[in-house]
């Protein structure tokens, strides 16, 4: 009985700390930030290493808000909106997951569309040699 209650408390605490979501972060970035920063998800995430992103998002994103308010002064009011932190938590996880030192590449719709398709050169058929 005691073991089940300890497990329940652990699950509850874990679920409360793991509220941010990489996929939600990607969606929020694509919907709310992409046009404002004029860069796709890949370009955005590659701006910093995972550690740099972590530091920027400390204290409810103060470093992030400061950096991007300087880079995009016309977006300062948007970035300083107190309601933004709810989205920024997810954007933080998106940025860290695909940071320039992560080795991960986000598939943000237009990133896939801009990839050059591989063109295969026609090869001679070897089926004649079999008969």
Q: What is the pLDDT of residue 106?
A: 86
Question: In 18-130, where does DSSP find H-type helix?
Answer: 22-28, 34-37, 41-45, 50-56, 58-71, 76-79, 85-97, 110-113, 127-130
Count of beta carbons in the 10 Å neighbourhood of residue 87? 20
Q: Where are the domains of the chain?
A: 19-106
Q: Which two tokens stand for residue 77?
A: 């009011």
Per-residue pLDDT of the chain (131 residues; tens, 9 = 90+): 555 554 444 444 444 345 579 999 999 999 999 999 999 999 999 999 999 999 999 999 999 999 999 999 999 999 999 999 999 999 999 999 999 999 999 886 554 444 444 455 555 555 555 55
Which of 11, 42, 35, 22 has its CA nearest to residue 89? 22
Sequence-distant (≥ 6) Cβ neighbours of residue 52 within 8 angstroms:
99
């Amino acid at each position: 009985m005691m073991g089940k209650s300890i497990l329940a408390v652990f699950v509850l605490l874990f679920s409360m700390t793991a509220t941010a979501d990489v996929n939600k972060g990607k969606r929020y970035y694509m919907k709310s930030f992409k046009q404002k920063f004029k860069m796709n998800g890949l370009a955005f995430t590659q701006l910093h290493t995972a550690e740099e992103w972590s530091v920027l998002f400390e204290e409810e994103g103060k470093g992030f808000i400061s950096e991007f308010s300087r880079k995009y002064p016309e977006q300062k009011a948007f970035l300083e909106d107190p309601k933004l932190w709810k989205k920024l938590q997810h954007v933080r996880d998106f940025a860290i997951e695909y940071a320039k030192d992560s080795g991960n590449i986000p598939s943000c719709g237009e990133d896939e569309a801009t990839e050059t398709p591989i063109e295969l050169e026609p090869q001679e058929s070897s089926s004649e040699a079999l008969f």
